[in-house]
Structures are given as structure tokens and as C-alpha cells.
């Protein structure tokens, strides 16, 4: 190669490296507040459970039933409002502020329309739990909790939609500040309403549910005010023409969001089924499973934040009609998440004997549970990495509006592969709890590989989805 040719190649390589560094910096800038917001949500749930725990083990068990009912409904709406992110990000990349506002508006509509019947359904939690074969006393306590908790669905979904809008316009920080303020506010309000203070009567689990609803409503109102009145959001006039029908874009949101809801439901169902299988193995196996899974859930919040950033960055590139940038954005996010989860996995392996003690204390009767939990944390090494990769792969594909094929992948991997493997290894082959974990790790790893393959295939071909039509 001639000297000018070498110089040209060197300049191209330097430019490529610079582009990757810039993309990595932009992804980190978006991802860290998103991840911290997710961790804040976990902190609020943890504080609620800690306060409820003082009411007794039977109340904790009933609260778990209530959360199961609520979350089964919650994931349906969460998928729909998650579609706000790619639509708004693509519009932002295309420099179409009116479409950004429309994307948020139809997301809020979808949350309200779906939320009304699902909220009312929560109020029949007692009957539903009885149909599912639960104890009457536990069902009664869970139903009392749901009477306060059910009303949190719509404001919680609206907050997700509003923070998706904030992220799409490269300003995710206000959602984090709202969440950080909400954590102590939620704990204080829950304490007052559960146990009684300031001349208010204690309302036990009903008070915990009311506190959650009030805090979610306050977070939603704060987010609306920030988006409406504060720069740089106010230029989008998010409440402008709010009541104007926008059925074409609403339909597009459903096309993108409904498969996301289905995927969330299938994934949630797999983990619920895994808990059921562990319950068949006994209390020790179930307790050890919950410890290992809760550890994974905390770790998962960071790649989940990176996943949301990937949706936005890929969406921005789609809006600019830059297929190469979309590919770079997705793969940089995937590698970033994999590296983080690898580091966390090594840390968990090193602390696998210490982590169970944080949940169980020093009780000698819990030594068998602690030993099994430590083993599951070791077995889960590949699970943790696959879990991080799959959520970022899914987020990258959402930036391309590709959600229906991942739904098919999730059905095959979570159930045909994951659940079948968990049951087969755990019971017929006799590996017990370890077999159950190996089984759904296999399913999750298959899902992660398929998603990365799908993103590679689409972006290698330069695929870009059509942008929403002006309305």
C-alpha cells in the first residue's frame, strides 16, 4: 500500500475508534441515571417489605401473593408504555418534536385505557386467589393490601412513559432525582400508614398499599410538571392537544408494545414457574432460590438501564437514517452490559458464602439454605451474564421497532427450552434445585444468543424501520 493509502486507512481507523468512544460515552451518560432509577425502584420495594415484615411471616407471605397478582397486570402495561421510548427516540433523531410529543401522548392513553379495567380487576384479588387454591386467611390479607395497591398501576405506568420521554430527548436525570426523593418519602409514609402516627390510625397492609399508590401518584405528578414546565422539556408542549385522537400512532404503539408485554409476561411466567418447581422440592430449595434470584435481580437493574439507553441510542440513529450508527449503538451497549455482568459475576462467586448470610443472619438452622444458595450463585454464573445480554439485545431491537420476532424467541427459549430443561433436570434426572437453575440458564442463554444474532442480521443488512407518519 502506498503512503497516501496508509494515511487514509489510518485516518479511517482513527475515525472509527473515535466514533466508538463517543458512542460509549453517550451510552454511559444515558445508562447510569436509568440504571440508578431502576435500583431506586428496588429500594422502595425493599423498604416496603421490611416494614411489612414486622407484621409477621404470614403477612409477608400474603403480601407476596398480592405482588404476584399486581405484577401479572403490571407487566402488560409496562410493555405498552415501553414503546414510547423507541417512537420518541426515532422522532428526536429525525428532529421532529411534534412526533416526540405524539409518541408520549399515545403511551399515556394506552396506560389509562388498559389501566382502568386492570385496576378494577385487582379489587377482586380475594376471589382470584381462592380460585388459585390459596389459603382463605392469606387471600384476605392479600386482598386488603391490593385495595390500597391497585390504584398505583396507572400513575406507575405514566411515570414509566414520562421517563421514557425524558430519556429519548437525552435528559434522563430528572426521573432519577424524583426516584431518589421518593425512596425516603415512601418509607416514612408507609411507616405512618402501616403502624399509625400523628393521630392517624394504623392500617397494616392496607396502609402499605395506600402509601405505594400515593408515592407513585406524587412521582407521576412531579414528572408531568417537569416535562410541562421545565427546560428543555417544555418546548415539546407535552400536554398540548392531549385529548386529540391519534389512532394511527396509537395503533403503531400497540404493534410495537403488545409483543413487549407478551415477552415480559413469558419471562415473568418462567421465573414464577421456577419458584413453583422449587416449592415442590421443599422450603429449603425455595428459600435458597429466592436469595439467589434476588441477588440476580439487583444486578439486573444495571443492564436493564443500559438496555433502555440502547433503545434510545439505536432509535436516535434510526431517526437520522444512519444504519451504521444504529449497529454501533446496539453492539456497544451489549458489550458494555456483558463486561459489567462479568465483573459482577466474579464478585458474586467470590462472595457466594457471604451473600446468603445477609438474608439469613447467623441462624444455625439456616445453614442448609445458605449452603444451597451459595451453590446456586455459583451455578448462576452463566445465567447472570446471559440475563444482562438478553435484556440489552432486546432493548437494541426495540430501537429498530423489532418486537414480534423476539416475542417468538421468548416463547421458544423460555418455555420450550427453559422450562422443559428445568423440569427435566430437576425432577426426572434428579438434579433438584441445581437442575432447575441450570435449565432456565440454558433457556436464557439461548434467548440472548438469538437476540444478538437477530440484531446482527438486521443491522448487517442496513435495516431501518419506517418512521411514523405525520398526523
DSSP states of 162-220: HHHHHHHTT--HHHHHHHHHHHHHHHHHHHHHHH-BTTBPP-HHHHHHHHHHHHHHHHH
* CA–CA–CA angle 73, 79, 81 (5° rounding): 105
DSSP string over 192-206: HHHH-BTTBPP-HHH
Instruction: Write down the pLDDT at residue 47.
Output: 82
Task: Centre a 10 Å sphere on the Cβ of residue 389 and count the other Cβ atoms it contains.
Answer: 24
415-425 per-position pLDDT tens digit:
999 999 999 99
Q: Report the DSSP beta bridge partners of residue 200.
A: 197
* Tally of CA atoms within 13 A in the half-sphere of 114 that contains its CB: 26
| Phi, psi dihedrals of residue 200, rounded to the nearest 5° | -95, 140
Q: Is the dihedral of CA 168, 173, 178, 180 positive or negative?
A: positive
Query: Which residues does the chain have with pLDDT short of 50?
Result: 3, 6-9, 11-12, 363-364
Buried b (16+ CB within 10 A) or exposed e, 234-267: eebebeeeeeeebeebbebbeebbbbbbbbbbbb
- Record the cell numbers describing residue 67, joined without a space: 405482588
Would you kindly state where each structural domain of the chain is located, as residue ranges? 24-244, 257-462
Instruction: Write down the pLDDT at residue 132.
Output: 74
CA pair distance 264, 246, nearest whole angstrom: 26
50-60 per-position pLDDT tens digit:
788 777 767 87
Q: Is 415 exposed, middle or buried (0-12, 13-18, 19+ CB in 10 A)?
A: middle
Instruction: Write down the pLDDT at residue 9.
Output: 47
Instruction: Write down the pLDDT at residue 241.
Output: 83
Q: Is 81 exposed, middle or buried (0-12, 13-18, 19+ CB in 10 A)?
A: buried
| Phi, psi dihedrals of residue 466, rounded to the nearest 5° | -70, 140
Amino acid at each position: 500500500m502506498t503512503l497516501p493509502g496508509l494515511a487514509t486507512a489510518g485516518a479511517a481507523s482513527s475515525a472509527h475508534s473515535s466514533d466508538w468512544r463517543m458512542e460509549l460515552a453517550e451510552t454511559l451518560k444515558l445508562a447510569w441515571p436509568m440504571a440508578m432509577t431502576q435500583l431506586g425502584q428496588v429500594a422502595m420495594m425493599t423498604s416496603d417489605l421490611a416494614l411489612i415484615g414486622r407484621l409477621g411471616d404470614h403477612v409477608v407471605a400474603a403480601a407476596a401473593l398480592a405482588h404476584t397478582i399486581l405484577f401479572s397486570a403490571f407487566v402488560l402495561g409496562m410493555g405498552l408504555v415501553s414503546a414510547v421510548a423507541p417512537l420518541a427516540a426515532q422522532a428526536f433523531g429525525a428532529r421532529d418534536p411534534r412526533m416526540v410529543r405524539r409518541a408520549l401522548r399515545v403511551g399515556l392513553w394506552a396506560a389509562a385505557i388498559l389501566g382502568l379495567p386492570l385496576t378494577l380487576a385487582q379489587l377482586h384479588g380475594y376471589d382470584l386467589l381462592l380460585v388459585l387454591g390459596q389459603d382463605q386467611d392469606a387471600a384476605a390479607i392479600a386482598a386488603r393490601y391490593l385495595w390500597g395497591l391497585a390504584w398505583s398501576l396507572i400513575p406507575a405506568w405514566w411515570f414509566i412513559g414520562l421517563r421514557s420521554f425524558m430519556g429519548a430527548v437525552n435528559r434522563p436525570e430528572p426521573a432519577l432525582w424524583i426516584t431518589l426523593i421518593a425512596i425516603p418519602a415512601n418509607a416514612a409514609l408507609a411507616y405512618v400508614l402501616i403502624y399509625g402516627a400523628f393521630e392517624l390510625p394504623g392500617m397494616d397492609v392496607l396502609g402499605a398499599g395506600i402509601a405505594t399508590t400515593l408515592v407513585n401518584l406524587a412521582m407521576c405528578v412531579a414528572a408531568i410538571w417537569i416535562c410541562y414546565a421545565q427546560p428543555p422539556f417544555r418546548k415539546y408542549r407535552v400536554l398540548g392537544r392531549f385529548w386529540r385522537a391519534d389512532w394511527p400512532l396509537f395503533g403503531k404503539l400497540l404493534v410495537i408494545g403488545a409483543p413487549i408485554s407478551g415477552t415480559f409476561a413469558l419471562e415473568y411466567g418462567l421465573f414464577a414457574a421456577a419458584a413453583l418447581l422449587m416449592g415442590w422440592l421443599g422450603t429449603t430449595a425455595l428459600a435458597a432460590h429466592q436469595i439467589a434470584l434476588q441477588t440476580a435481580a439487583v444486578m439486573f437493574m444495571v443492564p436493564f438501564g443500559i438496555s433502555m439507553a440502547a433503545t434510545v441510542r439505536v432509535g436516535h440513529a434510526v431517526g437520522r437514517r444512519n444504519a451504521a450508527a444504529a449497529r454501533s449503538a446496539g453492539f456497544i451497549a451489549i458489550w458494555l452490559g456483558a463486561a459489567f455482568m462479568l465483573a459482577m459475576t466474579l464478585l458474586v462467586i467470590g462472595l457466594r458464602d457471604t451473600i446468603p448470610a445477609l438474608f439469613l443472619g447467623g441462624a444455625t438452622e439456616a445453614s442448609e439454605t445458605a449452603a444451597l444458595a451459595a451453590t446456586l450463585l455459583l451455578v448462576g454464573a452463566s445465567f447472570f451474564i446471559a440475563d444482562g445480554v438478553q435484556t440489552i439485545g432486546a432493548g437494541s431491537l426495540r430501537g429498530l421497532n423489532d418486537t414480534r420476532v423476539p416475542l417468538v424467541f421468548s416463547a421458544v427459549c423460555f418455555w420450550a427450552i427453559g422450562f422443559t430443561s428445568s423440569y427435566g433436570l430437576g425432577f426426572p434426572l434428579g438434579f433438584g434445585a441445581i437442575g432447575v437453575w441450570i435449565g432456565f440458564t440454558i433457556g436464557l442463554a439461548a434467548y440472548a444468543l438469538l437476540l444478538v444474532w437477530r440484531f446482527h442480521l438486521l443491522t448487517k443488512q442496513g435495516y431501518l424501520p419506517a418512521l411514523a407518519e405525520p398526523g
